[in-house]
Structure formats: structure tokens, C-alpha cells
Structure 1
Amino acid sequence: MIPRIRAVFAAMLLLLLTGSGTASASASGTGTGTASTPSTRTPIEHFVYLMQGDRTFDHYFGTYPGAEGLPAQARQAIDPKHPDDGLVAPYPLHDATPVSPGAGPRLVQQQYNGGRMDSFVAAFERQGRDGRVAMGHYDRRDLPFYWNAADRYELFDHYFASSLDGTRANRAQWVTDGPDLSGATLFDRLEEAGVSWKFYVQNYDPKKTYRTTSPTDPATQTVRVPLLDVPRFVDDPELNSHIADLSEYYRDLERGTLPAVAYIASSGAGERSARSIPAGQRLVRQLTSQLMVSQYWSSSALLWSYDGSGGWYDHVKPPAGRGLRVPALLVSPYTARGQVQHGQFEAASALRFVEENWGLRKLGGRTTEVRSLAAAFDFRSPPRQAELIPDDAREAALPVAHRPSPTPVYAVYGGASALVALLLWRAVLLWRAVRPKWRTS
């Protein structure tokens, strides 16, 4: 009987310790983890920026209501010098076999054709390929989550890629003010100012750096994550510790350690192929939903955009020195519901916003010329409550997202602790009652 009573004691004691320990952990998980970060000039204390790949605005949102999308008479000649050979109009891709033009910078330059914007089909035809594919586009049936996000938050219809020179150049200008990484990056400035930051990487492999991978393949980790092409971010343990697997993003939200500035690079969900578009939408849904139910929602903003056109058609001539229009959406409690932002923006706009918001030393160059992303926010109104974004085409209205209150949890733990205490006391009484019998037996 003695072993049985001791086992009961041990089990109840373990339950008591486990319960109180969990409650304590929950109570301590409410810190920001960024106590030393300098104060911001706007209510945005946490800025998250994801970059996807190879899509244009007309390709994704050309028929979105209220946006500058596909013109009614949009056509592209199979041969611009001989328009009688045939014209191709934009067409929906709903039932088409998934395709990806896979256009490199040389072909995109040919499509641009010195600003005439008349060779989206012809550039492929000259390669002996079917140029009609460039005119395919999606809508709400294919991109339900993205269109629903636009309905509830903010869509940009004049957000341009940084360059016509391909993924590598655009990714470089995502993190610094130029087409290469020879100078200081945004993260050097953040480090210098003591502002917390992380670069989250989907399926991160620390061994794949500029020393070990090809610099030409857009899927290469060093292209997707430009910092891994810079020796100091690879070799300096302190700087390298800021590059982490994407799973850390979700843990940081839960632990209360989300940095002030976070960049995200996807891998299999990068949207470069048609088959990865559903995965891309699932990824963004996870990123936004978890942010909405975290303690950070009221002070955060999450932006996602694209690093180039990929060969898809867009009718808007870009400003000099920029790439074609790409999709971009902003989810934040400081955006008007369902607003289409018509102002001109690009990746450097986000860099400028971060510089201004945290008072960083300027990178210079293009960031001094562009419109800051700050112009896309509405800081005159109080923060909106989070509205979860549905992922189907029915546009079902979802409830406002609330972070679960710890009060019911603590109440449960309190009740459990009281019950355990009562059981312990009864066990003590039982032990005392049977103890004389053990001595006389």
C-alpha cells in the first residue's frame, strides 16, 4: 500500500507543479522582447515585409474593382511590325494548364521595348514559344485570399518592381539602395541604431551561402535572401544569428520576441510557378492570421510584394529606371478597409519608411527620391480591430480576430490548484490513518 500512496502523492505533486508552471509561463509571455529598441515616429512598432516572385499587377488584379487594371481594348500584337498577323487579348486562366513564362531580364527588356510596352507576346514568339501565355490573368476565383485581403485592407495599383534587370537586382534593392550589395544594407543601419531585426527564411539551410550555391537560379537561397551573398552576414556570428528559419516567426509571435523589423523570404511558396500560387496564399494567410491574434497587432504592419514580372503582361509604363507594376498589399490596423492605393511606390518606399520611423542614418540614393510607405497609412484614426481574411471566393464575413484572454486559463489553473491542494490534504489524512497499522504489522 505504501508504494501506491507514494505514487498518488507524486502524481498530484507533478500536476500541481505543471499547472502552476504553465500559468507562470503564460503570464510571462506578454513582453515585447524589444525593450531596448528606439521609439518609433509612428504607431508602427513592428514592420514585416515578405517578397514573392514573378507576377504583374494586371496578371493578378487586372479586373479588381476600383483599381487601374486591364483596359477594355488591351491587345498585343504577335508581331508589332505586322499587326495584321494577329492580336492577342487578355484571357482568364481558370481552366488552363498551369504555366509559367519563366522570363529572364533580357526577355522582359524586349517586352518593355524601350517603353512602348508592345512586345509581351512578340518577345516569346521570337524565341519560338507561344507568346499568348503572357496575356493570361487570374481573378477572385483563382486568388480568393489575395482578393479578400484587398477587400479588407489595402491594395496598391502603382507599386513597381525596382528594376527590369531580373530577380537578383530586385532582391538586392529590397534590402539596400542599389542593384548590388557592395554598400550598406538596411540591416546594417538597424544594427547600428540598436533596432531589433530578423530575416526569416522558409526552409532555411545555413549551409547554402554565397560560397556554395549558384548566383543565377532565382530559387537559389542566396538570391532569395540577399544577406547570404554578403560575407559579413555569413561570417559574423552576431549578424548571422539574425537570419533564421521561418518557424522562428511563429515562435517569436508566441513568445513575445517579434523584432521591430522582419523580412521574410519564401521557398516552395514563392509563386514563381502556377502550382505554387495556392501555397503562397496559404503562407500569407498564416503570416497575417498569426500576427492578428498576437499581442503585436495594434502596432504592426505586414506588406507583401513581388520581385519582378516573370514575363506576364502589364499595360502601365513604369517610371524611368523601374521595373513593371507588381502586386502589393498592406495589412495593418492603420489602413482603411478596402482601399486601393493609387500612389506610386516601390521597395525603396519601404526602406525609406523604416529609416524615418526608427530614425536611422539614411541609405541615400533612391530612398531620398521615392514616396515613403508612410503615405499609405492612416494614422489619424485609432487602430482597427483585426479582421480575419477568408480564403474562399465567397467573401464570407469573418469575425474580428481577438487574442485569447489569459483570464479563463488562469481561472482553470486556479481551480485545478485548489482541487489538487484538497486532494493532497485528504491524502495526508489517509496516510496518517493507515500509518499505525503498518507499524504493528
Structure 2
Amino acid sequence: MTDPTRPRRRVGRLATRALLAVGLLVLANPAAAAHAAPRAAAPVGPTTPIDHFVFLMQENHTFDNYFGTRPGVDGIPPDTCMPVRRGRAEPCVKPFHLGELGSLDLDHTAEAFRVQYNGGRMDGFVEGVSTQGKDGKLAMAYYDDRDLPYYWNIADEYVLFDRFFSSSNSGSIRNHMFRVTGSPGATGPSESIPAQGWGDIPTIFDRLEAAGISWKFYVENYDPTITFRSRTSAEDVDRGAQVIWVPLLGYARYVDDPRLFSRIVDLDQYYDDAAKGRLPAVSFIAPAGDSEHPPGSIRAGQNLVRTLLTQLMRSPDWDSSAFLWSYDDWGGWYDHVRPPQVDAYGYGFRVPALLVSPYAKRGHVDHTTLDFTSALKFIEVNWRLKPLADRDRKANTFLDAFDFDRPPRPAVFLSTERTPAVVRRPDPVPVYASYAVTGSLVTALVCAAALRRRRWT
């Protein structure tokens, strides 16, 4: 049966380009950094067939740490050997497979970045970790498809980005603020949440609210009592991290307004919303124990992502959805690509990022230079919103990772076992059809022979 909503969802090529051009003209307005605009009378439709955008942020890995040995990407260069001390060729540490050995939480502060980046020479990865009293050799470890089978299977079927950078060259607080505001939040050398909260810094959710566009922030193991006003002990750092991973909990206006606060919900609500076809236009997801943050389990993280994607693929919303996930910073791990320094705060090193959508190009490696504000740029272009700051106004978007000239692909439920990409054979239906034609001809010849035999007798 023909879907009556398809003409609206499947925007034609010319119409899509025209609408995107309008969106980009709006984004060029320098006054966009002001606070939220007045509330729109009615929500606007998207400029692409994507009605539902989901953005998950995992924790603390680089591209080379997860995909550096994958064929067809900008991966670990041959003969790489990282000096133990900057400026000295020997001794050095070669990249090695970490596998099930596990890892400590390596240093990933602004100082660690400074040492590892070393003015663009990219030769301080071992030293940057060693100076913090940890085994710097661990910085050169990597995982591969034996450890990340589901993610590598996803890359075979959907889109993998190999020039996706963290927005900040420091830790989690600034990167999560870039994710929702296009800015680092607090300026200066200190990276912390102000005691009074984030004040009036506009967020992407302010823009969505003003335009009447639906949104939710889904939080794994959500505790609504933990906000910027909470006081947590050193032993309770995981609970306190909720305010870092969910920056809206650092705003008085989101915490104190029951209507806005109700949009921050437990991750269980995502599964219910997806099952009922009630996902909002924009969904942000923050994990907790399944974030892959070392020494946490990367397999637990894969299971979380697989569960989220499986629910989306089974949802009535699948045909109009896009699911992006990335990692908030590099975690201290090695990556060989020198990040562009667009301002005092970033970029940081490359992080893994993948896109799953019925419109995503199959098995595509996207080489566009992107960062977390590229997700903001996509939201702003897709729903004709004004940019929040200079970063998202200038950011590239990942529209080239989609193919909107084709109908949406059926969901592909991938295994947690490694299933390497194989040569795709043609659809077997024509073959079966040729069998049917051959069978019909044989039957007709047999019948004709029997008729002639009857007449002869």
C-alpha cells in the first residue's frame, strides 16, 4: 500500500536544493547568536526527508583507536612508531592491538592535548600520558573488528566519517557545550560549570522551542535530582557527570521551568516513543554506564547502540530518521591526523562517528571535515533555524552522506559477530523469474507433445 505521507517526506531533488539554499541564507545572518527567537505560530517542516534526527554521544576514543586498521579509511600510517619523548626518535612505541586487555582512563585534559599535539608535530602521545603517572604506551593501543564487530558491520552497511573531530581540544565539559550551544561555555583556562549555571548561553533546544519543533533529551539512568545545584562527593563523580553529559541540567531556566524540564527524560522513554512512532523531531541521548568510557566495557557500549538502533529500525519512524553517534573527546588515545585549530578551543583530535539512516549511502566513507557543531548545522539547515554561534554558522554539514534521490532502504539488522563485507549479488528475483519462464515452456512443450500423441492414436 502506498504511504500517504511519502510525497511530503520524499522531497524532490530541485525542491530539496531550493529549500537548503533558503536555510543556508538564514544561517548567514550574523544576528543569529542572540537568544531564542519569539515562538513560531506553527512548526515548520524539514527541508529533507529526515523528520527525526537522533544524536548519541559516547565517550573517550579516537578514530585510529577504533577504525585505524580498517581498509579504505585514513587510518594508522605504516611504520608508525611514537617517540617516548618528544623530539627523540628512539625509543618509540608502535601501535598494538589492545583487545581484551582492557585499559585505564588515560589523561585527556587540555594539558595532555598540548603535549600530544606538540605544536602540530603530533609526536607526544606517549609522553602526554606518561607525565600523568600512567603507562604512556597504552596511548598507542587500538581495537579492531575482533573487538568492535557490530560497529565495523555498521560501517559496511551505512556511513563512517574519517574526518570527524571533537569540537574542543580539552575535556568533556567544553565538548558537551559545543554539542548543544556551538560554543565552549565558560571561557578562560578553567574548564568547569559555573556555580550559578550556564546563564543565558543559547542552546539548540531554545531554537527548536521558538520554532515549535519537538525535542527530547534522553538520559540513561536519569536522576532528575542531579542538577548544577547539586553537591556531589568525590566518590560520587559518576552521578555528578550527568550535569556534564546533559548540559541543560546546568541551566536554571531548564531546571526551573516544568515544561522544559519535562523534556529531559530517562532513556526508557526513547524505546516507548520509538515503538509508538512518537519520536520528536530532534532527540539527544546521553549514556551512563554504557558510554565506553575507559575502563568501561566497549562491548556494553556496542550493545547499547545496537539496542537503540534496533528499536529505531522497528519503529514507524524509521523511514524518515537519521541516527548519528560520536565520542565526546579523544580520551588520551593516539590519532595521526593533525586537527585544524579553528580557534583557541579546537578542534580536538578525531573521534569515531557513524551515521545510520534509510537514506545513508551504503558502505560509504565520508571525508568531510566535521565536528559536533556539524550536527547543529544539520538541525539548523533541516528545520530552517538560525545558528547559535560562529562555530556552527561556519561548520560543514554531512548532507553528502545521504542519498535523497533514492527511496528509503529497508532496515538492516546486523549481527554482533563480525560479518565482513561480501560482493553483493544481483537481486535473485530475476533468476527465479527465469526459472519460472523455463518451467512454463517445458510444461507447454510436454502438453503439446501429449496432445499430438493423442491425435496420432
Q: Which TM-score band applies after superposition, normalised by the shorter structure? A: 0.7 to 0.9
**What residue number does 1:193 align with?**
211
Does 2:166 align with 1:161? yes
Query: 1:317 and 2:338 equivalent?
Result: yes
Equivalent position amino acid for 2:389 in 1: G
Give the letter for the 2:408 counterpart.
P
Name 1:79's counterpart in structure 2: 85
Distance in 2 between the 1:396 and 1:319 partners? 32
Counterpart pick for 2:307 among 286, 294, 311 = 286
- Corresponding residue number in structure 2 for 1:252: 273
Residues 97/262 of structure 1: CA separation in 2 closer, same or farther (3 Å cut): closer
Provide the rounded CA distance (Å) in 1 between the counterparts of 2:231 and 2:47.
Answer: 40
1:69–1:215 CA distance, 2 compared to 1 (3 A):
farther
Verify the 8 A CA contact 2:159 2:354 in the aligned structure 1: yes
The aligned counterpart of 1:54 is 60
Matched, 1:299 2:320: yes
Cross-structure match for 1:220: 241
Structure 1 counterpart of 2:387 = 362
Show structure 1 runs of 5+ residues with no match.
1-31, 398-441
Are residue 271 (structure 1) and residue 289 (structure 2) matched? no
Q: Secondary structure at the match of 2:205?
A: helix
| 1:125 corresponding residue in structure 2 | 130
The one-letter amino acid of 2:255's match is: V
Counterpart mapping for 1:102-121 below 5 A: 102-121=107-126
Partner of 1:210: 228
User: 8 Å contact 1:102–1:311 — kept in the other structure?
Assistant: yes
* 1:115, distance to aligned residue in structure 2 (A): 1.6
Deviates more, 1:282-291 or 1:75-84: 75-84
Partner letter of residue 114 of structure 1?
A: G
Pick aligned residue for 2:259 from 215, 233, 238 = 238
Return the offset for 1:130: 1.7
Q: Distance in 2 between matches of 1:239 and 1:296?
A: 24
Name which of structure 1's ranges 153-162 and 363-372 shifts more when overlaid on structure 2. Answer: 363-372
In structure 1, what residue type is equivalent to 2:393?
A: T
Alpha-carbon RMSD = 1.9
Q: Alpha-carbon deviation of 1:138?
A: 0.3
Of residues 366-375 and 300-309 in structure 1, the stretch that sits farther from structure 2 once superposed is 366-375
Distance in 2, Cα, partners of 1:338 & 1:345: 19
Alignment-derived partner of residue 443 in structure 2: none
Identity %, equivalent residues: 48
The match for 2:74 among 68, 72, 79 is 68
The answer (yes or no) to whether the contact 1:213–1:222 under 8 Å persists in 2 is: no
Q: Deviations over 1:70-94 (max 9, x none)?
A: 000211101123333x011100012
Deviation at 1:136, TM superposition (A): 0.2
State the Cα distance separating 1:37 from its structure 2 match: 4.1
Quote the residue 1:93 is aligned against. Answer: 98
Q: Distance in 1 between matches of 2:51 and 2:202?
A: 23
**What is the total number of aligned residue pairs between the two structures?**
362
Compare CA radii of gyration and give the structure with the larger one: 1
Q: What TM-score comes out, normalization by structure 1 length?
A: 0.79
Relative to the length of structure 2, the TM-score reads 0.76
**Contact in 1 for aligned 2:153/2:419 (Cα 8 Å):** no
Gaps of 5+ in 2: 1-8, 10-41, 186-197, 423-457
